[in-house]
Amino acid sequence: MSDYVNQLKNEMPQIKQEIAILENKPSLTHQEEKKLRNLKNKEKADHDKMLEIDKKARARYERTINTAYYTSSKFAKKVAKQSLISGAKMGTRQMLGLILAEAWFELRDQFPAIYHNNKINFSINNFLNDISNVFKAIWERIKIKFKDFIYSFKDGAISGALSSVTTTITNIFFTTGKIVGKLIREMWGHIVQVIKLIFFNPNSLPTGQLIKEASIIISSGISVICGTMIYTTCTQLFAFPFGTELSAFCSALVTGILTLAFSYYLEHSDKAQKIWSFLDTFKDKYSKELDYFKAVNTKLDIYLKRLAELEFNLNTQQLESFTLRLTSTNNELERSILLEQETRRRNIKLPYEVENTESLRSWIGSL
């Protein structure tokens, strides 16, 4: 209808000219009268009314089609299939990201040692052996964290499936571009992590620390969104060879810088610390009691550490020698003489006189 209305507007001067010619004729044939009526109808047509009626008719038409399509089993099957595919893709991507990260951490730790071992007397066999050992270490590192990879795949699959469903529902009401779909997928992964953290709180964090961790996750998602927007903008600007790679680098750089900045601010800024401390005050009595015993335990550890550091004037070699001589005595007289000598040497004050039997008996009687 819009094309027809535009055509009418363009043909209007010609229509008026033909109407004037026909009206100036003394008599008209039947075909000319019919043509004149058609031309006058086109001249009097209300273009805005025509477009409005067309819009309402198309809306009813689209609504009928959409209702039939979106309530069909075919649509449900396609949504389920696409959700499974998107979930598997995102889960695999997150798991591979963790695996590659572990590989990079191991390589970063081992590279200096490899360089040190081969910088003087380089041997290809030794170098290859070092590289082989690095890959073995990477494999061992991956096996240790295999459970974490499975959890990452599960979280990624859930967020991918949810993002696919969200995108589908969004597209029912309005059409989204590729960039919007990507933003939805990226943000859903962080939303799933926040939901798990808040509802399950696996580390039993207090309220302030819990909100801080959730804020860090959300800020990471915002950083990813900003990086994605930078990538889209740069791909339009860098219309030259390797422009796509340069756009990807700029996107990763912006994402990394923003993630670091947000995390550092939330962890170390004075304002953020005041907020987390204020939120930590909202605790139940059990949390407060637990904090009290933690503080007591910390003070007790400090006291025991100081107690262990006290000097008792004991020489282990002298003590060992004294014990050996004491056990080697043959009678009580030798043992008493040895004990008397050790007592005098250490300046130990006894409650009785050693050589006075009456003093010893008096002390024993007073006990």
Strands (E), 89-188: none
CB neighbour list of residue 243: distance below 8 Å, 6 or more residues apart: 234, 235, 237
Domain boundary among 18, 38, 70: 70
Strands (E), the chain: none
Cα gap 58→2, rounded to integer Å: 12
Which pLDDT belongs to residue 224? 83
Domain range for 271: 75-284
Does 295 reside within a domain? no
pTM of the model as a whole: 0.39
Domain boundary among 11, 39, 70: 70
Is 187 found in the same domain as 235? yes
Is 189 found in the same domain as 139? yes
Give me the amino acid identity at 303: Y
Which pLDDT belongs to residue 241? 75
Is 201 found in the same domain as 103? yes
Does 309 reside within a domain? no
Domain boundary among 26, 50, 70: 70
Which of 2, 43, 1, 3 lies closest to 19, judged by CA?
Answer: 43
Which pLDDT belongs to residue 175? 47
Does 23 reside within a domain? yes
Is 248 found in the same domain as 344? no
Does 303 reside within a domain? no
Which pLDDT belongs to residue 59? 85
Is 102 found in the same domain as 54? no
| Structural contact between residues 114 and 130, judged by C-beta atoms closer than 8 angstroms | yes
Q: How many domains does the chain have?
A: 3
Is 86 found in the same domain as 61? no
Does 8 reside within a domain? yes
Which of 227, 222, 168, 230 lies closest to 194, judged by CA?
Answer: 222
Does 310 reside within a domain? no
Does 209 reside within a domain? yes
Which pLDDT belongs to residue 176? 47
Using CA atoms, how far residue 50 sits from 8, 10, 11, 41, 58, in Å, is: 12, 16, 17, 13, 12
Is 93 found in the same domain as 30? no
Is 210 found in the same domain as 126? yes
Does 145 reside within a domain? yes
Which pLDDT belongs to residue 204? 75
Is 206 found in the same domain as 94? yes
Is 64 found in the same domain as 101? no
* Token reading at 137: 């270490």
Using CA atoms, how far residue 190 sits from 85, 162, 226, in Å, is: 19, 12, 14
| Structural contact between residues 161 and 84, judged by C-beta atoms closer than 8 angstroms | yes
Residue 95's CB is within 10 A of a number of other CB atoms, namely 20
Per run of 10 residues, the mean pLDDT along the chain (length 367 residues) is 87 87 84 86 86 88 78 78 77 78 82 77 77 82 75 69 63 53 65 77 78 86 84 79 82 87 86 82 72 84 74 67 82 84 82 80 81
Is 108 found in the same domain as 58? no
Is 350 found in the same domain as 226? no
Cα gap 250→351, rounded to integer Å: 85
